[in-house]
Amino acid sequence: MDHSVQSRNSMKSIEAITLRSPAGMEVTLLNIGASIQAIRVPTDSGVVNAVLGYPNLDDYLRDSFYMGATVGRFANRIDNARFSIGDNTFSVDPNDGGNCLHGGRNGFHQHFWQMRSLDDEAAVEFSYLSPDGEGGFPGELEITIIYQIVDDYSLVIDYRATTDSETVLNIANHAYFNLDQQQQLIDTHDIQIDADHFTPVDDELIPSGEIREVETTRFDLRRRTALRSTSSEDSQSRQYDHNFVMRSSNGTLRKVAILTSPQSGLAMHLHTTQAALQFYTGEFLTSPFQQRAGLCLEAQGFPDAPNQPSFPSARLSPDEIYQQRTIYEFVPGKP
């Protein structure tokens, strides 16, 4: 265990554990929010920290950006902070205008998780018991998350959850990636997302329920695309906070996105079993960071799925096990 700082509010301590691979990749994890604080990848030009993070652990107690955190119970947005299961309607925290974002103000990101090393410190397990009614969500939920580095440069995240009564669940990691922080902004990066469809949203980023083809739209990122706009008339074209639909939603693990920094030579390949990917370019980041200092690739279920019958279901029953896997595979190259 690396270091800790005590929370004045809960009298619990923020603690950190660092995983290391034989090739020198290091991942620092925190028990608050089961969060990723740093991913350090050795490259030909030096070690690159591929994610944003606060330099002081105490800053995580005041975080408003979900910085590297596990988000839930429901990642992304729930319209009007309400949903129904059968004849029962549930009201959850309207922390984003009148909508619920990432489980509300007291979501998974704000809780201290149980953290322990596994397999001679080759992996870290986080566990949390979310009581029935927490944040307005029904059912007592037991969640386990395991982080491990495999094949020297791949961070694997395995999610598992069970409930004692029917509920809704959508868990994701909210890391902000920047593969070349010397350049400060993500505008030097290229992105590719293997999605033929996306879900259009309104001004509050709530899906309409439509699943639309990316063809002939700015959401067609199936080929490597620069995040820096090449036209002054097209200044909005590289700003995203949208859900992309994966080609296969049957729970198989597949590569769905590639993020590349031509300057550092580092690339990240994202693999997931999840049905969707929220791509967010960090327009709402403020001090101590800056706008577009990092981007999120949040592998998850569909936003507002409890209110959208045309979307894959987000329900979890007592006779089911929620299981998902996401992998951040880093590929060092030559700048």
Task: Check whether 8 has a pLDDT greater than 50.
Answer: no
**Is 174 a catalytic site residue?**
yes
Q: Give CA–CA dist 273/73, Å, rounded.
A: 18
The predicted model scores a pTM of 0.94
CA angle 262, 213, 293 (to 5 degrees): 35
> Cα separations (Å) of 133 from 80, 119, 138?
18, 35, 5
State the average pLDDT for the chain.
93
Task: Check whether 5 has a pLDDT greater than 90.
Answer: no
Q: What class, spelled out in words, does domain 4-331 have in CATH?
A: mainly beta
DSSP notation for 19-50: EE-TTS-EEEEETBTTEEEEEEEEETTEEEE-
Mean pLDDT of 12-25: 94
pLDDT attached to residue 248: 76
Task: Check whether 126 has a pLDDT greater than 70.
Answer: yes
Q: Which one of the listed residues 102, 109, 174, 269 is annotated catalytic?
A: 174
At 71, list the tokens: 């988000």
Q: For the chain, how long is the longest CA-to-CA vector? A: 59
Mean pLDDT of 212-235: 82
Q: Which one of the listed residues 15, 125, 134, 298 is annotated catalytic?
A: 298
